[in-house]
Chain A
């Protein structure tokens, strides 16, 4: 039942375009590969139109979507796109045919009326924006469905209006393309010329107004462009899902960049990709409407950004966290090596794995795994058939730094924050891994370059950190501190 209107739409186009006639017969017989070949040969005007149309709608929806996402107006976009439906029906009723211009005008007017209704409800009642959006979305959509159903039942030239609900890239005609090209060029041009105005009003409207920018006019212009973009995308995506083509590519772009101009570029790119992929798949399997396919493609792009985005992506965050905890683990091992050496007053260089395991209260296997990790990071080497671990100069330096951070922090908490010495260890266990060089210098100054921690142990001195020397002899020479 669902494809009936779609097939009706095809029939309508078949009448208008003879090239199409044979294609419809082919569908059941030709293979998917044949269809794909056909798509990429761009022989069919309908393929060309569908593809150009998808690219154009991807650009305009991406650009406008970028603005509505950063302005937190995503639901406004959704409402506006549903509110155009009665206008589509009225545009059709104007002269009882799918005249793109009449439908464009009707739909734009209906969309703007919907937007105005939202503003009116919000300003004159105590209802908040989300409620106003909900009311307008549902009521306009309902009226639109009623009108469309009536039109469908009317005798004469009808059908194909359902494609405005779910979209059909295949039904895009020449005049649609012209309209889309005009709107997309307008959007690109205006955003390019008035980028600074759009940016400042989106970020800080009060400041923009105080600086003399016509904020209201800029907002109206943006709403109008948004309405245009929604309306020209209707043919391909359909009323129900067009807001997803605004929101999803822009949301994916927002996850990938921290600069507005890049966000807009990426959003347009993602819009184009999703549009083209949607059009392509709908060409292969003609019984799925284009709109949902484009939106699924856009969602795939979003999912990629969500998981693999270099800064905000889930996977990268997970990876960063994992490598951070691996680093903490390594540093704890280094610290343990230091402690073992310190306990025997830095007599000899190597630490056996057994000593290390005892110190960390772990099994021998765990100690082995950790010393392997140290070796992999060039912080230690294994000796005596892999039974003893020697720190490299880098490893030794890092070990000193960690112990130093730990003891400085303990001392700081005890002296400056008046925390009892037996309460400071846990805290220092965490802080030691995150203290920067700058903070360490500051701590040293605050502590008057103290040499012993609250438990009376020597704080490894600067000399060790700079020279990275391996410890020999007494603690005094190790730390570089002489009695003063």
Chain B
């Protein structure tokens, strides 16, 4: 690739430089240097407390950084908020909240509307399409508390789709969902990737990680490894990510054995 070509190329969707984040002076992420290229479906893997959620929250500007910086498409996150979509952990909200499924998905449009503006007919149509994609359109007028865990996750996914972003951050979208939802989410992730979107997905299940993602970020306070799944999903790398946790180790051994 010649120099004059790279000049016209868009800056990478996500770039961390020497990022450190601490809670109560205890570092959770430490000196993260990372560049995620466009169109990648990245699984973020690591033990509990490795800073997986912290990494994506820091990327979205939800946390105070202790040092370093994050750039989204070459600019500070504040300038590119509309290009970022977010699927938070399902438990982060109160599912008895008096809103319908449609209301929640429409919230995905709010960022595009600006202050005081109400969602238009067009926004409703987009929300409807997104609900259709996750097969939740029949539930559009249901109150959200009547949904199962998998359905809740689909609603969150539909809301993120309605954001029509270029880079998506998803915090454990596969946690506690049924098999049908799991495969529906995987399909949508791959569709988004095919459209050139960049996706960072926090994932907790090793055996499925190697099926779902084409690249993996092994994280434990620092970046242990980042690269294509077949290069990174290696016994020694996983071992140094999960360091000494026997139960996990056996799981890793099992997962590696299955793969080879």
Q: Judge if B81 is at the interface, Cβ distance under 8 Å.
A: yes
Chain A residue numbers with a CB within 8 Å of B145 are 258
How many chain-B residues does the 8 Å CB contact rule pick out? 33
The segment from A204-212, A424-432, A433-441 found at the interface with B is A204-212
The segment from A189-197, A290-298, A446-454 found at the interface with B is A189-197
Are B92 and A204 in touch, CB under 8 angstroms? yes
Q: Judge if A263 is at the interface, Cβ distance under 8 Å.
A: yes
Q: Judge if A257 is at the interface, Cβ distance under 8 Å.
A: yes
Interface string of B72-93 (1 = CB under 8 A from A): 0000001001101010100011
Q: Judge if A199 is at the interface, Cβ distance under 8 Å.
A: yes
Are B100 and A207 in touch, CB under 8 angstroms? no
Chain A residue numbers with a CB within 8 Å of B62 are 206, 209-210
Interface string of A182-204 (1 = CB under 8 A from B): 00000000000110110110111
Chain A residue numbers with a CB within 8 Å of B61 are 209-210
Are B100 and A259 in touch, CB under 8 angstroms? yes
- 18 inter-chain pairs at a CB distance below 8 angstroms, sorted by A residue, are A196-B113, A196-B116, A197-B110, A199-B99, A199-B107, A203-B107, A206-B86, A207-B86, A207-B88, A208-B107, A208-B110, A209-B60, A210-B81, A210-B84, A211-B163, A212-B81, A260-B97, A262-B98
Q: Judge if B33 is at the interface, Cβ distance under 8 Å.
A: no
Q: Judge if A164 is at the interface, Cβ distance under 8 Å.
A: no
Interface centre among A200, A254, A258, A260 (most CB of B within 10 A): A258
Q: Judge if A213 is at the interface, Cβ distance under 8 Å.
A: yes
Chain A residue numbers with a CB within 8 Å of B93 are 203-204
Are A257 and B98 in touch, CB under 8 angstroms? yes
Interface residues of A in 246-262 (CB under 8 A from B): 254, 257-260, 262
Interface string of B88-115 (1 = CB under 8 A from A): 1000111001111001100100110101
Report how far A144 CA is from B160 CA in the complex, Å.
Answer: 49
Chain B nearest CB from A247 CB (Å) reads: 15
Q: Judge if A70 is at the interface, Cβ distance under 8 Å.
A: yes
Chain B residue numbers with a CB within 8 Å of A210 are 60-62, 81, 84, 86, 169
Interface residues of B in 46-66 (CB under 8 A from A): 57, 60-62
Specify the chain B residue showing the minimal Cβ separation from A197: B115
Chain A nearest CB from B60 CB (Å) reads: 5
Which residue of the partner chain, among A197, A212, A257, A259, contacts B103 with CB atoms under 8 Å? A259
Q: Judge if A72 is at the interface, Cβ distance under 8 Å.
A: yes
Chain A nearest CB from B253 CB (Å) reads: 32
Report how far A194 CA is from B113 CA in the complex, Å.
Answer: 12
Q: If the complex has contacts A200-B107, A211-B110, are A72 and B94 also in contact, measured as CB distance less than 8 A?
A: yes
Chain A nearest CB from B83 CB (Å) reads: 11
Which residue of the partner chain, among A193, A196, A202, contacts B110 with CB atoms under 8 Å? A196
Q: Judge if B118 is at the interface, Cβ distance under 8 Å.
A: yes
Are B118 and A258 in touch, CB under 8 angstroms? no
Q: If the complex has contacts A193-B116, A212-B81, A258-B143, are A207 and B107 also in contact, measured as CB distance less than 8 A?
A: yes
Known: A197-B110, A204-B92, A210-B62. 10 other contacts (CB 8 A): A194-B116, A197-B115, A204-B88, A209-B60, A210-B60, A210-B169, A212-B82, A213-B110, A259-B103, A260-B103
Specify the chain A residue showing the minimal Cβ separation from B169: A210
Are A194 and B98 in touch, CB under 8 angstroms? no
Are A196 and B118 in touch, CB under 8 angstroms? yes
Are B98 and A206 in touch, CB under 8 angstroms? no
Report how far A133 CA is from B159 CA in the complex, Å.
Answer: 35
Report how far A262 CA is from B81 CA in the complex, Å.
Answer: 31
Interface residues of B in 96-146 (CB under 8 A from A): 97-100, 103-104, 107, 110-111, 113, 115-119, 143, 145
- Chain A's interface size range is 20 to 34
Closest CB pairs A-B (n = 6): A211-B111, A212-B81, A258-B143, A210-B86, A210-B60, A204-B93
Report how far A394 CA is from B36 CA in the complex, Å.
Answer: 65
Are A259 and B99 in touch, CB under 8 angstroms? yes
Report how far A260 CA is from B107 CA in the complex, Å.
Answer: 13
Specify the chain A residue showing the minimal Cβ separation from B143: A258
Chain A nearest CB from B177 CB (Å) reads: 18
Q: If the complex has contacts A200-B110, A211-B110, A211-B163, are A263 and B98 also in contact, measured as CB distance less than 8 A?
A: yes
Chain B residue numbers with a CB within 8 Å of A263 are 98
Report how far A336 CA is from B199 CA in the complex, Å.
Answer: 59
Q: If the complex has contacts A196-B118, A203-B104, A260-B103, are A212 and B111 also in contact, measured as CB distance less than 8 A?
A: yes
Chain B nearest CB from A435 CB (Å) reads: 18
Are B88 and A206 in touch, CB under 8 angstroms? yes
Chain A residue numbers with a CB within 8 Å of B116 are 193-194, 196
Are B92 and A206 in touch, CB under 8 angstroms? yes
Report how far A214 CA is from B88 CA in the complex, Å.
Answer: 18
Chain B residue numbers with a CB within 8 Å of A207 are 86, 88, 107, 159
Chain B nearest CB from A278 CB (Å) reads: 26
Report how far A263 CA is from B97 CA in the complex, Å.
Answer: 11
Chain B nearest CB from A467 CB (Å) reads: 30
Report how far A200 CA is from B116 CA in the complex, Å.
Answer: 13
Q: If the complex has contacts A203-B97, A259-B98, are A194 and B86 also in contact, measured as CB distance less than 8 A?
A: no
Chain A residue numbers with a CB within 8 Å of B143 are 258-259
Report how far A259 CA is from B57 CA in the complex, Å.
Answer: 29
Are A70 and B97 in touch, CB under 8 angstroms? yes
Interface string of B176-198 (1 = CB under 8 A from A): 00000000000000000000000
Chain B nearest CB from A259 CB (Å) reads: 6
Report how far A98 CA is from B61 CA in the complex, Å.
Answer: 48
Q: If the complex has contacts A194-B115, A206-B92, A259-B103, are A211 and B81 also in contact, measured as CB distance less than 8 A?
A: yes
Specify the chain B residue showing the minimal Cβ separation from A195: B118
Report how far A262 CA is from B78 CA in the complex, Å.
Answer: 34
Specify the chain B residue showing the minimal Cβ separation from A262: B98
Report how far A57 CA is from B116 CA in the complex, Å.
Answer: 25
Interface centre among A202, A208, A210, A257 (most CB of B within 10 A): A210
Chain B residue numbers with a CB within 8 Å of A193 are 116
Chain B nearest CB from A221 CB (Å) reads: 12
Chain A residue numbers with a CB within 8 Å of B104 are 203
Chain B residue numbers with a CB within 8 Å of A260 are 97-99, 103
Interface centre among B86, B98, B100, B115 (most CB of A within 10 A): B98
Chain B nearest CB from A222 CB (Å) reads: 15
Chain B nearest CB from A424 CB (Å) reads: 25
Are B84 and A204 in touch, CB under 8 angstroms? no
Chain A residue numbers with a CB within 8 Å of B97 are 70, 202-203, 260
Specify the chain A residue showing the minimal Cβ separation from B92: A206
Chain B residue numbers with a CB within 8 Å of A209 are 60-62
Are B98 and A70 in touch, CB under 8 angstroms? yes
Chain A nearest CB from B26 CB (Å) reads: 15
Specify the chain A residue showing the minimal Cβ separation from B171: A206
